[in-house]
C-alpha cells in the first residue's frame, strides 16, 4: 500500500491518539529506515530510544525467530526456561554492586511487564506494599518531580509532573505530588509535610521526555540521604536512560547513589515490548504471591529477545560506545550554527535552538532524511542507535546544519 492508502486506512480504523508525521515506515536495518515510497532515512530517534542496537539486529531477529518456533508463551502460573536467566542477567548489572563497587547486599529481584508505564506501576505498587509493611496503612504517598514523565496509565500519569497531560483525566489516583526537579529544599519541605506518609521518591536521572534535563550535581545524592533519613524508598525511572544510553549502564551510575527500585523498558527488547522493575531483595520481599501480576510479563518470546539484546550489549560494550559517540555528536551539535547549547548524557542529547521552532526544524530534518524530534518547543532530541558509526553521526550533523540554515 502507498502512503495515501495507509493514511486513509489508519484514519478509518485506528483511534486518533497520535499526531503522526506524513511517512509510513515499512523496513529497517541498523540506523536506517525505509518508507512505503522507497525513501531512506537515518534514524536518530530509534523509536524513542527503543532500538538501541539498531533496526532488525540480526542476532536479536534470529533469537526471536528461533524462540517463536520453540515456545511463544506460557502462563506465569508455571516456570519457563528464559525468564529467570533474564532476571539474573539484569540483577548482575543492577544488583551486584553499588557506588564504588560496594556490594548491594544479596542483590535484587525482578518483575517483568510489557512497557515502561507498567514497570512504573509495579514500582508504585511495591512502594505502597513496602510502606504498609514498614510504617502502616497511611504510608503510601509517592513524590516525583515537575516535568517528569513516568507513563500514561492512571497511576503512572498521576506520578508524571506534566499537568497538561493530566488535565483531561482528572480525577487521578490520590497519593501523588510533584516538586521542582533539582530542588532539594522543595523536596525536603514536601517530605516534612507528608511525614510518615512518604513511601517513595520517584525520579529520573535525566528527565528524557521533559526536555533531556540532567540531574544537577549533588541532587540525587541529597535525595538518597533524605530517603535514608525518612525510611522512604528511592525509585529511579531508567525507562529511557537505562542500558547504556547515557554512557553508563544506567543513568543513576553518573551519581553516587544506589537506588532501592529501578524501572526499565524501551531498549531492553530492542523493539520487542518488555519492561522490568528491579528492587533490592529486602524491598522485593514486600510482595507476596497474588499482590501483582500480568499475563504477558516475562513470557518466553519477549524474554528471549531481551536476553539476546543484553548479550549483544555486553559484548559490544555499549556504554563505552555511547560515551564516545555521544561526545562526538554533542561536539558537532555545539559547533552547528543555530544551536545555542547542548545538554544530556551519552547518546541522549538535546540541542537547544538559538531561534526558531523545534517542530519545524524536526520536520525539515525529516524531509531531508533524518529522524529526530522536538522534545520541547525549542529543542531537538537525539537518541540514535548505540552502535551508530562516526560516519552516520557526521551525516546527521550535516543534515541538521542544512535544516537550521534553511531558517528552521
Q: What are the tens digits of pLDDT across the range 326-340?
A: 999 999 999 999 999
Residue 359 is among the residues annotated as catalytic for this protein = no
Are both 312 and 343 inside the same structural domain? Answer: no
Instruction: Tell me the residue range of the domain where 367 lies.
Output: 3-57+318-405
Looking at residue 362, which CATH number applies to its domain? 3.90.1150.10
Choosing from 111, 237, 252, 280, the catalytic residue is: 237
Mean predicted confidence (pLDDT) in 97-108: 59
252 with 352, same domain: the answer is no
- 86 Cβ contact list (under 8 Å, min separation 6): 110, 112, 298, 303, 306, 307, 310
pLDDT of residue 37: 96
- In the chain, the number of structural domains is 2
The single residue of 44, 111, 140, 149 carrying the catalytic annotation is 149
Q: Is 285 a catalytic residue?
A: no
Active site residue 149: yes
* Catalytic, out of 44, 266, 280, 382: 266
Q: 371-398: per-residue pLDDT in tens? A: 999 999 999 999 999 999 999 999 999 9
Residues 260 and 396 in one domain: no
Q: How far apart are CA 113 and CA 122, in angstroms?
A: 8
Q: Of 296, 316, 336, which closes a domain?
A: 316
| pLDDT tens string 227-278 | 999 999 999 999 999 999 999 999 999 999 999 999 999 999 999 999 999 9
Helix (H, G, I), strand (E, B) or coil at 100: helix
Q: Is the pLDDT confidence value at 5 over 70?
A: yes
- Evaluate whether 376 touches 311 at the Cβ level (below 8 Å): no
Do residue 271 and residue 347 come from a single domain? no
| pLDDT value at 303 more than 90 | yes
Of 282, 316, 350, the domain-final residue: 316
| Residue 322 shares a structural domain with residue 302 | no
Strand-pair category, 141-145 with 198-203: parallel
What whole-number distance in Å separates Cα of residue 6 and Cα of residue 138? 51
If asked whether residues 118 and 9 sit together in one domain, one would say no
| Residues 11, 95 share a domain | no
Please tell me the distance from the alpha carbon of residue 272 to that of residue 59, in angstroms, as a whole number: 13
240 & 253 share domain: yes
The verdict on 42 and 72 lying in the same domain is: no
pTM value is: 0.96
Same domain, 260 and 136: yes
The CATH number of whichever domain residue 288 belongs to comes to 3.40.640.10
Same domain for 249 and 312, yes or no, is yes
What's the mean per-residue pLDDT of the chain? 96
129/276 same-domain check? yes
Amino acid at each position: 500500500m502507498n502512503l495515501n492508502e495507509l493514511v486513509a486506512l489508519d484514519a478509518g480504523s485506528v483511534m486518533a491518539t497520535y499526531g503522526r508525521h506524513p511517512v509510513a515506515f515499512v523496513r529497517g536495518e541498523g540506523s536506517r529506515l525505509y518508507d512505503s515510497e522507497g525513501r531512506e532515512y537515518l534514524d536518530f530517534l530509534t523509536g524513542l530510544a527503543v532500538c538501541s542496537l539498531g533496526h532488525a539486529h540480526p542476532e536479536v531477529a534470529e533469537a526471536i525467530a528461533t524462540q517463536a518456533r520453540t515456545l511463544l508463551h506460557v502462563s506465569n502460573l508455571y516456570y519457563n526456561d528464559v525468564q529467570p536467566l533474564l532476571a539474573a542477567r539484569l540483577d548482575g548489572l543492577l544488583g551486584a554492586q553499588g557506588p564504588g563497587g560496594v556490594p548491594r547486599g544479596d542483590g535484587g529481584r525482578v518483575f517483568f511487564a510489557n512497557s515502561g508505564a507498567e514497570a512504573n506501576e509495579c514500582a508504585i505498587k511495591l512502594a505502597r506494599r513496602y510502606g504498609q509493611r514498614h510504617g502502616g496503612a497511611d504510608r503510601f504517598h509517592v513524590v516525583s518531580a515537575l516535568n517528569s514523565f513516568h507513563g500514561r496509565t492512571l497511576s503512572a500519569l498521576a506520578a508524571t509532573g506534566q499537568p497538561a497531560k493530566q488535565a483531561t483525566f482528572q480525577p487521578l489516583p490520590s497519593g501523588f505530588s510533584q516538586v521542582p526537579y533539582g530542588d532539594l529544599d522543595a523536596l525536603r519541605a514536601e517530605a516534612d509535610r507528608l511525614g510518615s506518609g512518604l513511601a517513595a521518591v520517584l525520579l529520573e536521572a535525566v528527565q528524557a521526555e521533559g526536555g533531556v534535563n540532567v540531574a544537577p550535581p549533588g541532587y540525587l545524592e541529597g535525595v538518597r540521604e533524605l530517603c535514608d533519613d525518612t525510611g522512604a524508598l528511592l525509585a529511579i525511572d531508567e525507562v529511557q536512560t537505562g542500558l547504556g544510553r547515557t554512557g553508563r549502564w544506567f543513568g543513576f551510575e553518573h551519581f553516587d547513589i544506589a537506588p532501592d527500585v529501578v524501572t526499565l523498558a524501551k531498549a531492553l527488547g530492542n523493539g520487542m515490548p518488555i519492561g522490568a522493575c528491579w528492587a533490592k531483595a529486602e524491598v522485593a520481599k514486600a510482595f507476596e504471591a497474588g499482590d501483582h501480576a500480568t499475563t504477558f510479563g516475562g513470557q518466553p518470546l519477549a524474554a528471549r529477545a531481551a536476553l539476546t539484546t543484553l548479550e549483544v550489549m555486553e559484548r559490544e560494550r555499549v556504554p563505552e560506545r555511547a560515551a564516545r559517540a555521544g561526545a562526538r555528536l554533542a561536539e558537532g551539535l555545539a559547533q552547528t550554527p543555530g544551536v545555542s547549547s547542548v545538554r544530556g548524557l551519552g547518546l541522549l542529547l538535546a540541542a537547544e535552538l538559538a531561534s526558531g521552532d523545534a517542530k519545524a526544524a524536526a520536520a525539515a530534518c525529516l524531509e531531508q532524511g533524518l529522524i529526530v524530534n522536538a522534545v520541547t518547543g525549542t529543542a531537538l532530541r537525539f537518541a540514535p542507535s548505540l552502535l551508530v558509526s562516526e560516519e552516520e553521526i557526521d551525516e546527521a550533523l550535516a543534515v541538521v546544519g542544512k535544516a537550521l540554515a534553511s531558517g528552521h
